[in-house]
């Protein structure tokens, strides 16, 4: 699976961004997907995940009620709508594919394919 992430940028606190991740190379409905982020000096953390069937979603506590993960099967694209952004959301955001098992894991080693990352910077 090839993943191409886009949509990052510089935004003021309280603003919004939408990240996109275009996927190719395997049937889009056959795998789970997630968004991770990594801030300087910190571990890469799972932000949100969505099951292959869209039935289930997961959010880390710090983004609940602010971020929404979704996927468009017609466009083979994963999205992350980020609202009410805070300076602590500043990080490089990565999309990832999980081929099997449960639809999400906080262990990055359980993900099989990764996008190249897109920088999100939130100014105070």
CA angle 27, 56, 38 (to 5 degrees): 80
- How many C-beta neighbours within 10 Å does residue 66 have? 15
Q: How far apart are CA 7 and CA 19, in angstroms?
A: 4
Q: What percent of the chain has pLDDT over 70?
A: 100
Residues in the chain with pLDDT values less than 50: none
- Contact call for residues 70 and 50 (beta carbons, < 8 A): yes
pLDDT digits (tens, 9 = 90+) for 37-71: 999 999 999 999 999 987 899 999 999 999 999 99
Distance CA 109, CA 107 (A): 5
């Amino acid at each position: 699976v090839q993943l191409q992430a886009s949509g990052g940028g510089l935004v003021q606190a309280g603003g919004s961004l939408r990240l996109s991740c275009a996927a190719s190379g395997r049937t889009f409905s056959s795998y789970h997907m997630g968004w991770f982020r990594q801030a300087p000096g910190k571990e890469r953390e799972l932000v949100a995940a969505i099951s292959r069937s869209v039935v289930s979603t997961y959010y880390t506590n710090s983004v609940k009620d602010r971020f929404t993960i979704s996927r468009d099967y017609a466009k083979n694209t994963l999205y992350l709508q980020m609202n009410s952004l805070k300076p602590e959301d500043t990080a490089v955001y990565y999309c990832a594919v999980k081929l099997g098992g449960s639809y999400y894991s906080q262990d990055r080693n359980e993900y099989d394919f990764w996008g190249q990352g897109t920088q999100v910077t939130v100014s105070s």
